[in-house]
Amino acid sequence: METKELILKESLDMFLSHGFKSVTMDEIANKMGMSKKTLYTHYKNKSELVAATSLHMCDHVCDGVNHIATNDDRNPIEDLYEIKAYVMRELKGDNSSPICQLQKYYPETHKLVHKKIYDFMDNCIYRNVERGLELGLYRDNINKTFVARMYFIGIQGIKDLSLFPVDQFPQDKLYDQYLEYHLRGIVTPAGRKILNQLTQTNHE
């Protein structure tokens, strides 16, 4: 792996663990065992590094989600739970603090990432709904575009720590609760059986 890629990997790990604002270029250089001057030969400033790591993270997670969503070994309901587990692993439990820092201190980068994620998830959930309809797991009277967009709005909404403080709503359980809330509104009786099995397994 080239030096620039290693910097990207290590700095992203630090940003997700401690926040985009909190981590300094000095700390990244020390972690990499290099001088700050060497670091700046690859990324001219912290804003550039934050943008590069954020977009890299976005592309990586979207690729992983797409791989899950296009695997026909699972049904669409199972896909959503598998996607949730994957994203939580990749984003270190989806601690919202780094994303809040990105939005506050690097708003232009946050806008780019948010737009990219929205476009991807809108298409991904739309396809999930289509598969659910084809398999008779989702109700045939739902509006696919509406469901896809409401899913995205809900996912963004539960990240608001002022509404869902972690001490009251642990992240992993919160996402499970949201998925169940989302799915119970659109499943058929056949889909409900699958959902009941999954939620029972998650509660055990």
Report whether 202 contacts 170 (CB < 8 A): no
pLDDT of residue 203: 60
- Residue 37 belongs to some domain of the structure: no
Is residue 8 situated within a structural domain? no
Give residue 99's domain range: 53-203
- Return the CATH number at 94: 1.10.357.10
Q: What is the distance of C-alpha 95 from the center of its chain?
A: 10
Is 93 inside any structural domain?
yes
> How many whole angstroms from its chain centre is CA 99?
11
> What's the total number of domains in the chain?
1
Q: Which pLDDT does position 98 carry in this prediction?
A: 78
Residue 84 CB: number of other CB atoms within 10 A? 19
- Tell me, what's the pLDDT at 62? 95
What is the mean pLDDT, run by run of 10 residues, along the chain of 204 residues? 89 90 94 93 95 94 95 94 91 70 91 94 96 98 97 91 88 91 98 95 64
In a domain, residue 106? The reply is yes
Which of 3, 12, 53, 54 has its CA nearest to residue 33? 3
CB neighbour list of residue 60: distance below 8 Å, 6 or more residues apart: 90
Q: Does the residue 42 lie in any domain?
A: no
pLDDT of residue 103: 86
The answer to whether position 11 is within a domain reads no
